[in-house]
Each structure stands twice: as structure tokens, then as C-alpha cells.
Structure 1
Amino acid sequence: MVELTIDGIKLEAPEGSMVIQAAHSAGVYVPHFCYHKKLSIAANCRMCLVDVEKAPKPLPACATPVTNGMVVHTRSEKAIAAQKDVMEFLLINHPLDCPVCDQGGECQLQDLAVGYGGSASRYQEEKRVVAAKSMGPLISTEAMQRCIHCTRCVRTGEEIAGIQEVGMVGRGEHAEITTFVGRAVESELSGNMIDVCPVGALLSKPFHFKARSWELARRRTVSPHDSLGANIIVHAKMDKVLRVVPFENDEVNECWISDRDRFAYAGLYEDRLEHPMIRENDGSWREASWNDALQMIVHGVKAIQEKFGSDQIGAIGSPQSTTEELALLARLTRALGSENVDFRLRQTDARFDQALEGTPWLGMPIAELNHLDRVVVIGSFLRKDHPLMAQRLRQAVKKGAQVSFIDSAADDPLFTHIAGRITTAPSQIANAVAQVAVAVAQAKNQTPIDEFATLEPSEAAKQIAQSLVSGERVAVFLGNMAVASDQASVIMANASVLANTLGATLGFLTAGGNTVGGYLAGATPVNGGLTAEQMLAQSLHAYFVLNVEPELDSDLGARAVETLKGATLSVALTPYRSAAESWADVMLPIAPFTETSGTFVNAEGRAQSFKGVAAPVGNSRPAWKVLRVLGNLFELDGFDEETSEAVRDTVISSGVASRLCNDIKAKPALLPEANTIERVTDVPIYRTDAMVRRSEPLQQTPASALPTARIHAQTLEQLQLVDGDLVRVRSAQGEITLVAQLDNTVAVNSVRIAAAFAETAALGSAFGQLTVERV
């Protein structure tokens, strides 16, 4: 630590830190534009010039390291004169269009111009004009002449998103921020460029000209789209959501959010179900009152219980539902006499629950991801499944961490380097994990466990092992694909052996916004109950389906819809009409997360409660209230809570941490090699849930392009196909026609086909054998 004085305040600051950081820690504000605490120092704007004693001229506070005995004046005549001179230069070419600028009212340049700008400009020449650049459907650049060349956007892309998609060309007043020729900005974190822009040069295209900042109510909530649980602020006008921005929380999302969190709101008001609907005998729909719809459900379920038994009732939730909703769904189902309740829509291994000791979770606080030095990620499309966790690991890699991957598609995580990688068919992921475990044991001069005694590790496995054994803070993470696998229990068991051999932390990245909350709420089958896949594969007589679009959310795809159609009574609790009108008998309009209160429990076990931030659409009701009223109408005990907080307390009042456990009971094993073509399935980042799929701006991005059959060159040759061929792909469930696309990141003997599209729903399961032939 070094001692210095800033504006008469004596303080200590870490050696190597900058004057601006020391000033801000002491509560002294230094005006700035290009400086950002999460980005590297550029020192381009010079707005932070300060007067340092014994220095011949003002120095930039953002690029001047603190020294012992330094005396700094931020408000001296010399400092203020320098800051005003800089402001005059910045305003020379800046247009006077504040009345029509979306940034007006929350603009850093506006604020500082009040204190440091002149009342009139001495510049009489014509201002420069900068042509708008095409950055895609999310970022508006219609007024790039406002740019002050702070390069925050450039550094955000390069340092946070991990890819340089924008840069600066030209010099002096001819300098421009631009994209690469013919390229849009496609990063899953691109919207953060809008947040860091201190002027109105980069704006949200979906929000453009929708409202002025002072008209917006600001309300804090939690994003449901992935297991990070990003803290967000929703901006609403007339009780309608118009914009989403990050709420800073260093322990969760820092000051960033993904584009999925930011722009999913655009799907809030599309295709909304506004009133309860009942299907008539001729298949048509009629609007009904809440009382009529609920009474029909009660009478229908009681009739099914009497005729077929309570075990013919099934309840299916989603990992985007709140803890309160899932708790009441499970409570209602069990009170009706059934154990058939589940929210894990893509889980396919029936042995999964028997393999677990407790509630699977990340195994550590999210903030610790930045401080790991060795990591192996198993079965994850990391950047797309967990964008901000990938960002934290990206920062760790910059500090010397080594990250390895075992997967079936070698997507680029945008790290500066990857320590090792095994890309293999989905059926062989468990064996690849076992190979690394053996290589680790050999590197540590230990004897591999008996189950792996005959296994000889590959060179790739040895490379990963050498990386892992050289670390102190080591983690083994299981991704969404590994957990969804039909061999998930074996993958977990082998990963547990690897973690134990390393002395590492075993963690689950978990899907959706509330997987941990779903486990805590008891929304999983016990005592012989059926999983979601089993319920949708078998034909039950009654279904309660909460927040689910079965064709796109379920692993069974089109088959799930047929099962629900064939039921005696299918009840859909959904915000969206088209999610259920093809199969439901009763549709109940429920509120999405923005219109209800509830709790999400993220991957680290952090319970985050929130209130509704917008008015319900039409006659929608919070799902927890609907389920509670159903319990009352069935005359069941235990449905007396008046608030969502009371429901939450029944779930987590005893604590969360004691119930989190990643101990694996399943036995490790080696699996036989498959000599067939296997499916590799990803759920694209903007196809993960119903709201995201209805967000038009997100659906216009390349990440939501129609799926193709992505195949390695070796596999194409084996199948006698070429890039661009139209191919027929068959599974045990159905067939589809796609265009073959050469993709050498895909494992050999595999075909990568995205799920969550109507075009691929007929294939069904994300795992299994495929046949591929030219049409």
C-alpha cells in the first residue's frame, strides 16, 4: 500500500493502482469517459486530467499510478481549466440533438457538459458526419457522429465478450468506430456495448424512440434464462416493459448481462393468452371465466381419479418457473395422490435421481470462477449455455488459468488459449472422462480404480491431465449436455472419480434459471413417480403442464405433443396461446416472471426473490395463485398461503446450503463403443424458452438461423455426401430433411442438429442413433 493525498484527504491505495481508482475509493469523483473499472485503461478521452504536485502539466488520473507521498488536486484551477479545455474539444463535432437522442437524461456527456462545457461554442465550421454502420438487429448506430472515440465498446467486445467485432479506423476527426467489412456484431454479450457507451452513439435498436428516460419506472428483478440468475433492472412505461439493463452485483453478474437477458423482453407481449380458454367438443376454443375453467379442471380430474386412479395424473413444470410455482405444483400433485411431477424437460437418463445424493449445484460461489486455475468442462456448449460464466472463466484464463473441454462439438469459447480438448461422440463422453481420470492417476503415481484398470489414456487425455494436476484450485464442471445425456449417471460417476483423484470441486452448471430451486421445491419424482420424459412417453389420462411449450422444450419433441393430445384432460398454465392451443383442453393464462413475484435459486444456491415489475396482460394471474386456488377447490389441506413469500418460506426457511450436495452414488463404468451415426444436440442460445423464442430481435440474429445437419468432413466422406447436399435424417421417432453443412468442430460419426425448432422436433430425443442419406 502507498500513502497519498487527494483533495486534502489522506488515504492508502494498493501499489500499482491508478489515481482515479484511489480517488473513487475515497469518494472523490473525477470526471471521465473512457475509463471503466472492468476494462483496460485506454486514456483516450483525457477528461480525467488532474493536477499532481511537482508534475509539469495535468496528468490523466486513469493512467497515472499512485506513488508514495503523491499530492493530487482534482478541483484546482489548473485541473478544472484542463478538464474544460478537453470538454470543448469533445463538443466540437458532437451534434446538438439531445431532444431526439435516446441517451438524453442518462447521458454522461450531457451531465459533464453542464459542469465543464461552455455556454456557447467557438467552433463555427461544419460538424463531421459519420455514416451509420450495420451492427445487426440489436444495436442501433444511426447517430455515430455522436461518438467521442472513448473505445469502451471496442474494449468491451475484445476483453469481455472475447472477440473483436468492432474497432476504430481513421485518425483525428476522421476516426470512426466500425465493424469488419460486411459483418454484424454477433457476440452473445454485444448489448453491453450499449451500456458502456457514455454518449448516444450506440443504442438499443428494439428500444429506439420508444420512450424518454425520465418517463421510465425502474424496477429490479432477476433473469430466468440461465442458471446465473443475472440481476436486472426493468424499465417500464405505463406498466409495460420497454427495456432491460443490468443491475450491478459483483457476486453474480458483475455489471454485465447477456443479450438473452437484455432483449428477451421483446417476446413478452407477443402471442399472449389473455383469458382462460376451454376446448369445445368440436375442437374450437371458447373464452371462459376463471371459475368455469377451474371448476372444469376439478371435475375432470376427480372423474379420472375415480375411473383410472390417481397415478394417472402427471405434472410437468419448467426450470424457468419460480420456486413457489414448482413447490405448489408438486404439493398439488402429491395431495391428489400422484408422485408424477418433474421439471427437467430434457433429462433422459432414468437412473439420474438414484445417482444423486442431494441437490446438484455449482459446487462453489459464482465469483470463485474468476479465481480457479485449472478447469475441465464436460458436455457443455459453454458460451451459449452460460454466457456470463464463460465470461468469468475468460477473465481467469487471462490471469493464467487453464481450461480444458470434453465435448461432442468443439465450439470456440473465445479464450486466449485452451489447455486441452477431447471431442468425441456423445456415447463416448463417459469413456473420455475415464481416460482423463486414469491419466491423472498415472501422473500422480496412483493406481487407477478397478473399473478403469484396462483403459489406456489417449494423448489428448494425458494433455488434459497434465494441465489439471498442475493446479491448486481445480474444478470439474458438468454441463447441460452431460446432464441431459441418456448416460448421465455414468458420466457423473466417472466425473466424480476424476474430481476425487484430483482433489477438485465437482460442479453442475445446471440448465434454466431455477434448476436448483426446482430440486429444493421437491418438484422431482420419488417413490416410483415418473420423470417428465416418462410421463410424455407413456400416456397418462391427466396432465398439468406449467410454463412449457412441449414440442420445443421437451426432449421428445413432436411425440410429447401427440401424448398430450391423447390424454383425457390436458391443462396448460401458460402465458402464450400458441404454446398450448394444439394439444390442451384447458388453457389458463399465467403471468411471466415480469408480472409475478417469486424466487429463483441460481447455480450457486443463491435464492433471489423479486416482485412483479409490470401489469398483468389481460386476465392473466400469477401461477402460484392459480395452483393455490386449485388446491382449495379440490378441498386439499396445505393451500392457505396468502403471499408468495409464505410459499417460499415453506421451501427454503430451513436453509439452502445444507441441502446442496454433489456426491454421486452411481458406480463408474466404461461404455461400449457405438459404430453408428449419433446425434449431437445443442439448444441455441435464443431458443431456450418460450419468451426468448418470441423475441423478434433475437430471432433475427444468426444464432437463431434455421438448423442444418452439421457434419465433420470425415463423416461426410463416409456417408458419400458433400457440403450443401439436401439430406434425410431419421431417428427412432421420426425423420426430417435438412441441408448438410461441413463443420469440422463436430465429432466424427456424429451429426449436430439443433433442438427447440419446429423443423427438428420430429426427430425427438437429443441422443441416439441416426441414419443420414441424400435426398
Structure 2
Amino acid sequence: MPRAKNAQPKLVNIEINGIPLQVPEGELLVEAAKRIGEDIPIFCYHKYMKPVGMCRMCLVEVGYKQPDGSVRKMPKPQASCTLPCTEGLVAWTQSEQIIKDRRAVLEFLLINHPLDCPICDRGGECPLQNNTQFYGPPISRYIEIKRHLPKAFPLSKYVMLDLERCIQCGRCVRFTEEISGDAQLALLFRGAQTQPHTFQLTEFTSRFSGNVIEICPVGALTSRTYRFRARPWDIVTQKSICTMCSNGCNLYFDSRAGKVVRINARENPEVNETWTCDKGKFEQVEFLNAPNRLTQPMRRNGTAWEPISWAQAYELMLERFARARGAVGGLAGTRLSNEALYLFQKLMRAGFQSNHIDHRMTRYQGDLWAHAQSLLNKLPVANEYRDLEATHLIFVFGADLIDEQPMVFLRTRKAWRHYGVKVAVAYPVANAVEEFAETRLRYRAGSELALVKGLLYILLDKLPAETVAANLPDHEWLQALLQNCTPAWTQDHTGIAAEQLLAFADTIASVPSMLILTGEKVWNHPESEELVKHLMWLTRLTGNCHQESGGLNLLPLGANEQGASDMGVLPNRLPGYALVEDEAARERFTQAWGAPVPSTPGLTTDGILQACLTGEIQALYLAGANPVREHYDPTLAERALRACEFVVVQDSHMTESAEYADLLLPACTVAESEGTYTNWERRVQRFWRALEPPGESKPDWLIFAELWLRQVRQTPPFNPREVMCEIASLVPQYAECTYEALGDSGKRWG
């Protein structure tokens, strides 16, 4: 059954190495030992996978307290990774017998293990190496020839397999079965020849293949992109956040000689647990080290680029923006930090006196905040990761989760596998969620709105009249609107059988809570605003807008798309979602910024691009935005950039849009700056600088601050911490999001 979200566990009294403590009942002994700083050695055990007790490295002596106060010991050592804590348990983790047993386990593991440590990428951070140093025998009694198997075998594009090093712990196989769900790996053959591989020796194509590298306790599975590039003692590790989607995965950036050479997962139980997707682990390294980096300001001189100084770049930009006399617009990218986004909209509004700013590149460019507040009285994203395990039904609508939201996909699969949460998916083509979903609605592409209308029609008839009246008091108008959307009509428009639709409506009506996850097909639907409203009516009709573990989640796609909305990078909303027409709100920001804020709502992204074509926008500022690649209509973006009189592109790389620029400003990547991101569940998380900026590139927030100084003649902020303090003082939702309060794991608002 679904996991109770805020349930308090029952505590039991146990004793480890003579130290009494209280732990949740059922917690594994290997985890309980960590509470007193005792790390029991492990190989096969992993915190986020089911225990199997295969390697026997975690053996401990165990007993139980008797009513008379004595301790009755079990006759043999027990595997602490499979032993749940119960009342009165007593354990010894460092007894003479246990140390002897661990030495024996290691001696058997080392019989066939090659002495590759000097050339192994795992050397220096290898659990087998560490455990051998602490518990292993100093010499080997084995004098026979070791087994020989293929070395450096490419298992996939990113993973290298060395069969001689494998200790058959099964972690990699269990990961593909339990976590990623693709079950591509298996243990083949028997005895000393047992080896992990794909069933038919095909390529390992999992979207999460990089995780098997991290969880391998030896050097059997290593990274092909990191191979021989660095050693653990000559890399610098820094905490960061992934920028490949809106999931907000916590990462470590490992750098050497000014380059990011490896990305590993950073544990955060509230977000990505300890997993990453291959986009965040490998493709992000390729992006950070791409050769097309911008390293100095440049202006266009005919068909060539002319390097200039930052002072010249600022002077040219401000002169051309002044000449435009308010006919300026700005588009911000979703890889910018909250601090940079806030300063961008502040500069555009108070510095250049323009509300023509936006960050959205999808067809939907309506007032999402207003729709959610008026129709649901909730936020556009109602839930958090934990709710996936607490709800009764997850409805994935118009989203290819494994590609758009990889961590949401893993957490959805976990909810289904561990807690029995029902899953339904509606998508026009085959996708990974269908492999475990109870209901699969394969509709005709573009018919999303018809599908929601059909569900609403059935539910209006199927739900009890008192429920409909309570959840949607004015439902008569909706019934009139949908009077023709019968199951037969829906089948004609979507291709989904009426019987299947009726069965799914029965499921919705029968479950106590439903959580809806939407994706790109919703944002880019030709009638996206109508589709969003109908999804909100569906949520309201079923009463899920009142459920703590239910509700509608219009998932943002970009890394900091949620933060861009929060920071007011919208044509009609100030930071914190105050309307630009609100005189009191404008006065508050005017007092804080020392410059007036325009009162007329600006143009959306589409409006800005159209205005570039007509000459209404004469100067366009693209800050980390690449509309030629990201906009749903790239042809419109190209025409607009070609037609605009003056285009400034501020980016870390020479993008498709940068080819149309008149002025290029080199910016830093996430690895070369610091700040915060806000993920889809509104969790604000910090990232830290891992590298020095290349060439003359600067962090985005600093570029905006220096432009503010020159345009408004006011003292700018001197670091991102100061910017966040200003945000916390002006944006109610971020009042408790100072750097001190965020810590390493972040803080969720709302």
C-alpha cells in the first residue's frame, strides 16, 4: 500500500558495541550502526536496493536481551545487511571472531582478483582496496594461476567491463532489475566464471547505465569517458546541481587541470537519492568541455567577429539600448541561476524600462499562476517527490518521463514496485512507463485535449452527484460544454477504445488520491491553454486539489524554469508573482531598486519575436537563451533574430542563436559560478563554483550587476549571497531561502 507521508516510525531499543540507542523498528542493522559512527564493511549491500546478503562481508555477532537482563547470543555470525532491528537486539561489530571472518571473506575474494590497483581507475577510492587494508591478510596463500578473462571490454558507449576484477556482488544486475527497470544485465555462467553481462551479449543501452559504475565496489565497471584521465588524489571535488532537466539532482563535479573530468551523484534522499541519468552524468561533461566556448566579448564586423574589451562591450550595448528608447526585449535561459534571473529582470525593468521579458519557449505562454489560483486555489505544481510514494494513482499524461524527467521516472517506478502505487500513462507512442503501468492509453498524436474531455464527460456521469456538487459546485456549465464528448466521440478523436476509457475512469473514481504528471505534449499542444484548464478541471472534479498526496503537476522542462517564474522573468509578473499592474507591488520594488518599474504588462516570447519582425522591438537581449534551438517554432526565431536591429547574446557557448548576434558576451557555466536553482517541486538548492572561468568569461549575475552599475549608477551586489539576501527580503516565497538556511540539501517553499 502507499507509504504514509508523515508517519512516525515506532522506535526500539538496541545496543551496538555496548552503546545503547533507539532506532526505527525494522531498520537494518548495517544502517543503525552508522548512527554511532560505526561503518560496517560491505560489498553487495546498497542503501537504496533490497539486501541480499551475498558477500558476507558485513557479518556481526548478534544476541538478544532476555527478561532477566542477560544476553542470549546467536550461535553464528549474522549478515547485518539483512537483519532488521527489533527490541532488545545486541550486536558486536569488531569482535575477534568477526575480524577473523572478514579476513577469510577477503582472502577468498582476492584469490582471483588481479593486482591492477596501480592502473585501475578505482584505485584510491575502492571499497575492496580499503577493506583489504583494514581487515585483509597481508599475504596470499594462493599460489595457483589466477583466472584470466577479457579485460577492458566495452559494455556500452559509457561503461567499460573488466571481468577479471568482478567479485560477483550483483549490485549492477540488481540495479537494472530494481531501480532502472530495464533488467538489461544478468549474472551469466556459474562458479568462478560467473560474470555480469547483457543477456545476449548486446550493447548495454540503459538510460541510467552510469550508476553501475558508481555502485560497483571494485574496478570491474569503469567509465570509458573518465578512463585514465585522473586519479582520486589529483582531482578537486565540488558540490553542484544538474542542469539537464528540472529534477534538481545533486551532483559532485570532479575537475582536473581546469576541466570537469567526471560527474558523480551526491546523495539527497529527498531528490535523487543517490542516482543520476546518463544525460546528467556524461552528456553534461561533454557540454561543459565543449570546444565552442565563448571566452571574450566580441562584436560583429561584417561577417567576422572582432574581439573587444568588457568596457567596450558594455558601452556599445548601453548605447544601442538607449537608442531603442524602450523598444527592447529580453529572453532568459533556464540554465541561469535564481540570482542571475532576478538581476536580469531587475535590469530590464528598472534599468531599461521594459516588461518585454520572458523565458518560455513552448506554445503555452499564458498566465499559469492565475489559472492555478483561480481554478484550483493551488500552485501549478502541487506535489513533491515524496508524494509519489504516498498517493494511490499516478497518471502520467503527455510526458515521456524517462527522457524529460529521469528522476521522476525512477521515483514513480519505485512507488509502483515498493509501495504498490497504481500507474497509468497516456502517450502517443511507446515509452518506458508502459512497461509497468496498469493502464496504457496510446492516443493519436495531438488528441490530448479530446482525451481529457472524454474523461471529464465519463466522470461527471460516474461520480456520485454529491461528490460532483461538492468538488465542482458550478458543474452544469461544464456538462453543457462537454455534452458531445461521449466515449464513442472520444474513441473517434483519440483512437482509444471506449471500453478502455471507461475502465480507466472507474479506476480514477475508485482511488482515494490521484497525482497527475504532465509533460512536453501539454506545453506544446496547439490548444495548450485550453488543455491546461481542462486538466485543472479534472483535478478539481476528482477532489484531488484537496488531497495532500494528490493533485496536478504541470512539470517544468528546463533546469531552472521554476526559478525563472519565481524570479519574475515573465511579462506580467514581478518576483513572487505580483502583477505588474499592482501599484502597491510596484512601489515596493521601486523603493528597493531606487528606479521606477513600468506598469504595463510586456510581450510574451512569441510577442517579442513577432515584434522583432515588425520593428517594434529594436534591441533584443538573449541571456542564456537559444530560441533557434529551443523555441517550438525555430523558423520564427531565426526570422526574428535576422530582422532585429541589434541582438545581444550572452552565453557560455557559440549557440545557434549566437550566429545571429551583433554582440557576444561570454558567460560562465554552472561549473564556473555559484548560486541556486529551484527544481520542479520548488526546492531551492545551492551549487558551488568548481572551476575558474575560462578566458574573460564572467558569471551571468556579475554581467547583469555591472550593467546595472553603468545604467542606473547604483551600487551593485558584490556576490550571489548578497543577491539572495535581496531576493529573500522582497520575495515572500524565498524569505527562508538564505544560503545559511539552504545548507547542502536545499529547502522547499510552498
TMscore range, shorter length? 0.7 to 0.9
Name which of 722, 726, 730 aligns with 1:646. 722
Give the letter for the 1:535 counterpart.
I
How big is the shift at 1:352?
5.7
The answer for the alignment partner of 1:37 in structure 2 is 47
From the superposition, tell whether residues 639 and 513 of structure 1 become closer, same or farther in structure 2 (CA, over 3 Å): farther
Distance 2:714 2:666 in 1: 24
3-state SS, counterpart of residue 136 of structure 1: coil
In the alignment, structure 1 residue 591 sits paired with structure 2 residue 621: no
The answer for the alignment partner of 1:611 in structure 2 is 688
Distance 2:44 2:665 in 1: 50
Identical-residue share of aligned pairs (%): 29
From the superposition, tell whether residues 150 and 656 of structure 1 become closer, same or farther in structure 2 (CA, over 3 Å): farther
The answer for the alignment partner of 1:238 in structure 2 is 257
The answer for the alignment partner of 1:7 in structure 2 is 17
The answer for the alignment partner of 1:463 in structure 2 is 503
Distance 1:3 1:296 in 2: 71
The answer for the alignment partner of 1:711 in structure 2 is none
Name which of 59, 76, 80 aligns with 1:49. 59
3-state SS, counterpart of residue 452 of structure 2: helix
| Residues 375-434 of structure 1 deviation map (CA, whole Å, 9 limit, x = unaligned) | 21222111110000111111111121112123333412265x313233334542122112
From the superposition, tell whether residues 354 and 59 of structure 1 become closer, same or farther in structure 2 (CA, over 3 Å): closer
Contact 1:361-1:604 within 8 A present in 2 as well: no
The answer for the alignment partner of 1:452 in structure 2 is 482
How big is the shift at 1:206?
1.1
Name which of 80, 84, 95 aligns with 2:114. 95
3-state SS, counterpart of residue 525 of structure 1: coil
In the alignment, structure 1 residue 327 sits paired with structure 2 residue 342: yes
3-state SS, counterpart of residue 113 of structure 1: helix
Distance 2:678 2:365 in 1: 24
Name which of 77, 85, 92 aligns with 1:58. 77
In the alignment, structure 1 residue 276 sits paired with structure 2 residue 294: no
Distance 2:202 2:540 in 1: 46
Distance 1:194 1:541 in 2: 51
From the superposition, tell whether residues 28 and 529 of structure 1 become closer, same or farther in structure 2 (CA, over 3 Å): same
Give the letter for the 2:425 counterpart.
F
In the alignment, structure 1 residue 536 sits paired with structure 2 residue 556: no
From the superposition, tell whether residues 349 and 591 of structure 1 become closer, same or farther in structure 2 (CA, over 3 Å): closer
From the superposition, tell whether residues 658 and 464 of structure 1 become closer, same or farther in structure 2 (CA, over 3 Å): farther
From the superposition, tell whether residues 65 and 301 of structure 1 become closer, same or farther in structure 2 (CA, over 3 Å): closer
How big is the shift at 1:238?
3.4
From the superposition, tell whether residues 18 and 366 of structure 1 become closer, same or farther in structure 2 (CA, over 3 Å): closer
Between 450-459 and 623-632, report the one with greater CA deviation.
450-459
The answer for the alignment partner of 1:368 in structure 2 is 387
In the alignment, structure 1 residue 294 sits paired with structure 2 residue 310: no
The answer for the alignment partner of 1:438 in structure 2 is 457
3-state SS, counterpart of residue 273 of structure 1: coil
The answer for the alignment partner of 1:28 in structure 2 is 38
Give the letter for the 1:567 counterpart.
C
Distance 2:86 2:684 in 1: 43
How big is the shift at 1:348?
4.3
From the superposition, tell whether residues 361 and 98 of structure 1 become closer, same or farther in structure 2 (CA, over 3 Å): farther
Distance 2:555 2:451 in 1: 19
Give the letter for the 1:339 counterpart.
N
Contact 2:629-2:656 within 8 A present in 1 as well: no
Q: What are the residue-to-residue correspondences of 1:288-437 with 2, within 5 Å?
A: 288-305=308-325, 310=326, 312-335=327-350, 336-349=352-365, 355-357=371-373, 361-398=380-417, 399-413=419-433, 415=435, 417-437=436-456
3-state SS, counterpart of residue 248 of structure 1: coil
The TM-score normalised by the length of structure 1 is 0.80
In the alignment, structure 1 residue 621 sits paired with structure 2 residue 698: yes
Give the letter for the 1:534 counterpart.
G
3-state SS, counterpart of residue 660 of structure 2: coil
The answer for the alignment partner of 1:559 in structure 2 is 636
The TM-score normalised by the length of structure 2 is 0.82
Distance 2:460 2:205 in 1: 41
How big is the shift at 1:16?
4.5
Give the letter for the 2:537 counterpart.
V
The answer for the alignment partner of 1:577 in structure 2 is 654
How big is the shift at 1:655?
5.2
Give the letter for the 2:388 counterpart.
L
How big is the shift at 1:13?
4.9
3-state SS, counterpart of residue 370 of structure 1: helix
The answer for the alignment partner of 2:532 in structure 1 is 492
Distance 2:243 2:160 in 1: 26
The answer for the alignment partner of 2:745 in structure 1 is none
The answer for the alignment partner of 1:665 in structure 2 is none
Give the letter for the 2:463 counterpart.
K
Distance 1:257 1:488 in 2: 31
In the alignment, structure 1 residue 633 sits paired with structure 2 residue 710: yes
Contact 1:427-1:487 within 8 A present in 2 as well: no
In the alignment, structure 1 residue 521 sits paired with structure 2 residue 567: yes
| Residues 129-165 of structure 1 deviation map (CA, whole Å, 9 limit, x = unaligned) | 2224432221122x33111111111111111111111
How big is the shift at 1:232?
1.0
Name which of 154, 158, 182 aligns with 2:177. 158
| Residues 532-579 of structure 1 deviation map (CA, whole Å, 9 limit, x = unaligned) | 123224423211011123321121214312321221111100111244
The answer for the alignment partner of 1:478 in structure 2 is 518
From the superposition, tell whether residues 79 and 542 of structure 1 become closer, same or farther in structure 2 (CA, over 3 Å): same
Distance 2:373 2:540 in 1: 16
| Residues 37-56 of structure 1 deviation map (CA, whole Å, 9 limit, x = unaligned) | 11012221111122335434
Give ranges in structure 1 of 5+ residues lacking alignment. 660-775
Distance 1:633 1:17 in 2: 59
From the superposition, tell whether residues 179 and 75 of structure 1 become closer, same or farther in structure 2 (CA, over 3 Å): same
CA RMSD of aligned residues (A): 2.4
3-state SS, counterpart of residue 459 of structure 1: helix
Contact 1:373-1:396 within 8 A present in 2 as well: no
Between 58-67 and 508-517, report the one with greater CA deviation.
58-67
3-state SS, counterpart of residue 433 of structure 2: coil
Give the letter for the 2:604 counterpart.
T
Contact 1:276-1:588 within 8 A present in 2 as well: yes
3-state SS, counterpart of residue 42 of structure 1: coil
Name which of 88, 93, 105 aligns with 1:74. 93
From the superposition, tell whether residues 289 and 67 of structure 1 become closer, same or farther in structure 2 (CA, over 3 Å): closer
From the superposition, tell whether residues 482 and 652 of structure 1 become closer, same or farther in structure 2 (CA, over 3 Å): farther
Between 351-360 and 559-568, report the one with greater CA deviation.
351-360
Distance 1:373 1:655 in 2: 34
From the superposition, tell whether residues 613 and 80 of structure 1 become closer, same or farther in structure 2 (CA, over 3 Å): same
Distance 1:116 1:10 in 2: 26
How big is the shift at 1:262?
1.3
Give the letter for the 1:139 counterpart.
V
Distance 2:629 2:135 in 1: 55
Contact 1:375-1:468 within 8 A present in 2 as well: no
Query: Number of residue pairs matched?
Result: 651
How big is the shift at 1:213?
0.3
Name which of 253, 276, 279 aligns with 2:272. 253
The answer for the alignment partner of 2:157 in structure 1 is 137
How big is the shift at 1:120?
0.8
Give the letter for the 1:43 counterpart.
G
Contact 1:419-1:467 within 8 A present in 2 as well: no
| Residues 315-339 of structure 1 deviation map (CA, whole Å, 9 limit, x = unaligned) | 1111221122222222222232322
The answer for the alignment partner of 1:727 in structure 2 is none
From the superposition, tell whether residues 207 and 424 of structure 1 become closer, same or farther in structure 2 (CA, over 3 Å): same
Give the letter for the 1:78 counterpart.
Q
Give the letter for the 1:610 counterpart.
F
